[in-house]
Amino acid sequence: MIYTPLTIKALKLSYSLHHGQYDKAGVPYIFHPYHIAEQMTSEYSVCAALLHDTVEDTSITLNELSELFPKEVVHAVELLTHEDHVPYTEYIQSIKTDPIAKEVKLADIRHNSNQSRFAGANDISGTKLEQLREKYAAALEMLLAED
């Protein structure tokens, strides 16, 4: 991961906002954005990776983020925030318009596709795992497709 004052600010904020949250396997949620951030190649993509689920899964708003981070980071987070009324394929297509959002989403999909993350998670059925596998495979194909 790239450590700068800005990325450390994003790390601390993400940690604070996701504190007490757990993923489907019961692992502290912060490990997911941190894992994504470790794969990023620029200061802004590290910030976007750390913050990519904050608007969707915590109480912070895009307006609040815009007071703390550059517009490029906030725009990527906005694109990475999937609103319920937006079809998933439309959401993925919009991410392709921004290189930071696309880099983060590719890493996010790859991490979410690693089904070994669900080891020990008794409440996820084989059917659900197959649905997730298909969803992420299709999203990955869309993001990597040349337009």
pLDDT digits (tens, 9 = 90+) for 129-140: 888 889 999 999
**How would you label 76-109 residue by residue, b for 16+ Cβ within 10 Å and e otherwise?**
bbbbbbbeeeeeeeebbeebbebebbbbbbbbbb
Domain 5-144 classified CATH 1.10.3210.10? Answer: yes
- What ranges do the domains of the chain cover? 5-144
- State residue 21 phi and psi, 5-degree precision: -90, 145
Extract the tokens encoding 1. 């991961």
pLDDT truncated to tens, each residue of the chain (147 aa)?
Answer: 999 999 999 999 999 999 999 988 889 999 999 999 999 999 999 999 999 999 999 999 999 999 999 999 999 999 999 999 999 999 999 999 999 999 999 999 999 888 887 777 777 777 888 888 899 999 999 999 986
Composition of the chain by helix, strand, coil, percent to 5: 65, 0, 35
pLDDT digits (tens, 9 = 90+) for 80-104: 999 999 999 999 999 999 999 999 9
Q: Compute and round to an integer the Cα radius of gyration of the chain.
A: 15
Among all residues, which ones are annotated catalytic?
A: 56-57
